[in-house]
Chains A and B, each alone.
Chain A
Amino acid sequence: MSQDSQDFESLRRLLALKRHEQPPPGYFNDFSSQVIARIKAGDQAEENPLERLFWEAPWLQRLWAALETKPVMAGAFGAAVCALLIGGVVYSGGVDVQPRDVAGTDTTITLPMQIANASVATEPLLVTPAALSFSGPEASALPESMAAESSAASIFGLVPRPSAQPASAPLSPLRLSGGN
């Protein structure tokens, strides 16, 4: 190490010149007050999100620097990400997603299938407002067969329906007109 120091002695003497470089006289007199003024003015010292991320996670910066300086490593990293992505796609395609209950009937898959069949066979998947309304004059006016059909076709028809009783007194429409 002492050999190295001797080797670079003249260079170190030359670098001493840098210490003599000085900003204009009086420059530092106002520096701190400028910083404080900018803080008071709400200056947030512009920074991009990447910079903030790097600052909060130094290991990410090191990784980025390694990828930047070593193209082989960047290529390997890209290949690894691609392999992971492809592996994930292949794996998700091969997984059997048909859990069965104790009785052996489909529970998960049949639900969307029923909806699809019903919507194709009878009516569009769009749920009519009538089918959604549980009370009100429209509900009582709907023919039973149509109500049953629409309830089977709608997604709500598959959910245990609360026993909505028609109100004894029909609901009067809301009046918005302001008084006399």
Chain B
Amino acid sequence: MIMTEPASRKTSHAPDDAPARTEPAPTEEADLVKRARRGDLGAYDELVRRYQERIYATIYHMTANHEDANDLAQEAFIKAFHALKSFKGGSSFYTWVYRIAVNKTINFLKQRKHKAAMSLDDLDFNAEHDPDLVALISEKTPRREVGLTELQEKLNVALQRLSEPHRLVVTLHDVQGLSHEEIAKIMDCNIGTVRSRLFYARQQLQAYLSDYVK
């Protein structure tokens, strides 16, 4: 999965003019949290880099807007830093940050009076070669890229038609690959609720995208 790649592996993407970033030592998360709680911003920076992609992706898939996702993801990490003292360690830091981000996003979407125009991220190069996607696109389509872009837009429109909890479950499970148990912890509900929401959300999506899925 592209969006869940650990941040530490992304050092190769750093621009040439940026200072060379050394590969972070495999530090335990609990230790980083403890240091961050004492005000060590270096430790917190490491925690942010570990989870920034997953948090951003979740918010982005919920809002379908890059700018909103950027703001909300940053605010979620800032809020998490200030709330670190209340983090009791009952769950993993990862789940805890996820919950902050998810709550923040849902509140944002509720407060947003009108649906903002979508500001979608571009598809990466690998999309064209994804066997699952290739199977979905007609072989007779002269320009496959156009087909994928259209499909992307239709898919996002359909997702935006779902309610926030249903969209969240689909995002976390079918897009980000989280387990039912993890989703239940993040959404603070039981696994049965997660399953039923996922089933209903898929049914809805299938109806909205009936032209593209069998």
Contacts and interface: CB of A to CB of B under 8 A. Distances in A.
Contacts of A12: 174
A43 interface: yes
B130 interface: yes
A10 interface: yes
B132 A26 contact: no
Nearest to B203: A8
B152 A25 contact: no
A92 B120 CA distance: 61
Contacts of A161: none
B155 A18 contact: yes
Given A18-B155, A19-B3, A35-B74, A11 B205 contact: yes
Interface string A15-26: 111111111111
Interface in A6-57: 7-8, 10-26, 28-29, 31-36, 38-40, 43-47, 51, 54-56
B213 interface: yes
A107 to B, nearest CB: 49
Contacts of B104: 47, 51
Given A34-B74, A45-B75, A47-B79, A21 B120 contact: yes
B202 interface: yes
A96 interface: no
Nearest to B72: A45
B75 A11 contact: no
A179 interface: no
Nearest to B52: A31
A56 B123 CA distance: 38
A38 B74 CA distance: 9
A18 B82 CA distance: 32
Nearest to A38: B78
B20 interface: no
A39 B81 contact: yes
B27 interface: no
A33 B14 CA distance: 13
Q: Is the interface of B mostly helix, strand, loop or mixed?
A: helix
B78 A44 contact: yes
B157 interface: no
Given A29-B13, A34-B74, A40-B41, A4 B133 contact: no
A1 B195 CA distance: 10
Interface in B43-80: 44-45, 48-49, 52-53, 56, 60-61, 66, 70, 73-79
B123 A20 contact: yes
30 contacts: A10-B213, A11-B205, A13-B136, A14-B133, A14-B136, A15-B174, A15-B205, A16-B133, A17-B130, A19-B3, A19-B175, A20-B123, A20-B133, A22-B122, A23-B66, A25-B13, A26-B14, A29-B14, A31-B49, A31-B52, A32-B45, A32-B48, A35-B81, A36-B44, A36-B48, A43-B78, A45-B74, A45-B76, A47-B79, A62-B188
Interface of B: 1-3, 7, 10, 13-15, 18, 41, 44-45, 48-49, 52-53, 56, 60-61, 66, 70, 73-79, 81-83, 86, 100, 103-104, 107, 120-124, 126-127, 130, 132-133, 135-136, 148, 151-152, 155, 159, 170-171, 174-175, 188-189, 199, 202, 205-206, 209, 212-214
